[in-house]
Amino acid sequence: MNYYALVLFIKAATSLPFNLIVSGSTDATTNQFPYHVSMMNQLGDDSLEFLCSGAIIDSTHVVTTASGAQINGIQLTSSIRILSGSNELDFTKATSHQISSYKLHNNYIPKTFENDIVIFEVTPQFTFSGSTNSITVSNNWTADISVDCVISSFAEPISDFQDGISSTLKYENIVTSGCSVATNNSFCIADKTTGKQTTDKNNL
């Protein structure tokens, strides 16, 4: 069975002490990921700055990362605009939503990114169509190892890295692997072809 996973890509300009880049290698086709939304920070001049991605879970709610919706630890609920219905980071081609309320995970720890989850209630609600729909979530799903997944992301491929943001949605087929909590002094790297993992920087 294949699972769909959303990469809640966090812009490098946020409060993270390092750049977190997870990228897809193939452009998504129209309506391929109708649940994928982009979280944008509306600046003082009304321009929009990309923060992270999110997933529609029903007609009024989105799930995303708590860290991605913050700058310097400040929750940006009043200035966030959620764009739906488009594979492009283009305000003119998407539907804009605002946040009416939010719920952080009770055990969220910003320093280690444990339980890095927030649910936003949006207004106006999503109008479901071919380009906008909710992600399918199983009540019995567990985070197993070696499961085929599809990730979607607005991150640039590493070889093309500039500001870390792609103007079009991308995706990649992956296999899940075991992970532990990431801190400033730890990392986990896996070879895309062999799946071999290492935590030894000398083996990079």
> Does 199 have pLDDT greater than 50?
no
pLDDT higher than threshold 80 for residue 81: yes
Buried b (16+ CB within 10 A) or exposed e, 20-33: bbebbeeebeeeeb
Return the pLDDT at 10: 40
pLDDT band (50, 70, 90) for residue 183: low
Q: What is the pTM of this model?
A: 0.76
Look up the CATH number of the domain holding residue 11. 2.40.10.10
pLDDT tens sequence across 95-116: 999 999 999 899 988 888 888 8
Residue 86 scores a pLDDT above 90: yes
> How would residue 76 be classed by pLDDT, with cut points 50, 70 and 90?
confident
Distances from the Cα of 51 to the Cα of 104, 148, 156, 176, angstroms: 17, 27, 14, 25
What CA–CA distance (Å, rounded) separates 125 from 133?
11
The predicted model gives 43-50 an average pLDDT of: 85
The count of domains in the chain is: 1
pLDDT (tens digit, 9 = 90+) per residue, 4-37?
444 444 443 333 333 445 555 789 999 999 999 9
* Residues 123-180 pLDDT 10s: 999 999 999 999 988 776 666 777 788 888 887 655 544 566 888 998 888 887 766 5
- Domain enclosing residue 59, as ranges: 1-204
